Amino acid sequence: MGIVNVTPDSFAGGLTDPAAALDAAIRMEAEGADLIEIGGESTRPNADLVPADEEIARVVPVVRAAAGRLRVPISVDTRKADVARAALDAGASIVNDVSGLDHDRAMAQVVAERGAALVLMHSRGDPKTMNDRAVYENLLSEITAELKASMAAATHAGVPIDRIILDPGIGFAKRASHSYGVLARLPELLAALERPLLVGPSRKSFLRGAAGDRLAVDRDWATAAAVTTAVLAGVHIVRVHAVAEMVQVVRTAEEIRKHG
């Protein structure tokens, strides 16, 4: 999954010009991305909430243009039902809710009504509070229980179970040790949740603990190690910024996994 951030404050670099965002999406597809995700609100720690109308204005023109040019599915990264509805109507077919339905309870119904797929990510609180809530007695059991609760809310609203993908939320309401712990124990999460998993380690700050205090754009080698770990564990989707490089990483790791 290639990431196209249509935001002025993304931690890993964003695009504010719709034409540039479309070009990035087309390039990522050509580089081998199987899905493209377009987002109009940064959810990095301490990020400000973007009003729904502003997020729609950022996202929908890019989704509409991309839907007319891309062959791969388009995902919209949003916590808001109104934004999801507008993006799905413009041509997206997947909604990635990083709040796991906690931010806007109308989200599941919108996804169900449109027949879209839904990614539910594990997090706690919002970008302003999530670091304070990164406290766990049993990391995996708490992530598993909270993701199962999100999934139950989605199916109760009418989202079919086979349209739900789960994400353990690396870097969201998690210290660096928690994020490394999730990566190390992905096979256990896969077994406990029995749903396809998406993992998004790309360029995140937890990588600094091993790779040094580098800028986000200089963390692709560290990202490659995390992506390899995810693929070898059996994760179904990895969400990345550097598509051309990570396609090589994913395909090589997949060949290794297949021969195991």
What residues are labeled active site?
204, 239
Helix (H, G, I), strand (E, B) or coil at 197: strand
Beta strands in the chain (DSSP E): 2-5, 36-39, 74-77, 94-97, 117-121, 164-167, 198-199, 237-238
CB 4 within 8 A of CB 38: yes
State the virtual CA torsion across 119, 120, 121, 122 in degrees, nearest 10. Answer: -160
Find residue 5's DSSP bridge partners: 39
Helix (H, G, I), strand (E, B) or coil at 166: strand
| Count of other CB atoms within 10 angstroms of residue 15 | 21
Which single residue is written with the structure tokens 């990083």? 98
State the Cα–Cα distance between residues 21 and 69, nearest whole angstrom. Answer: 12
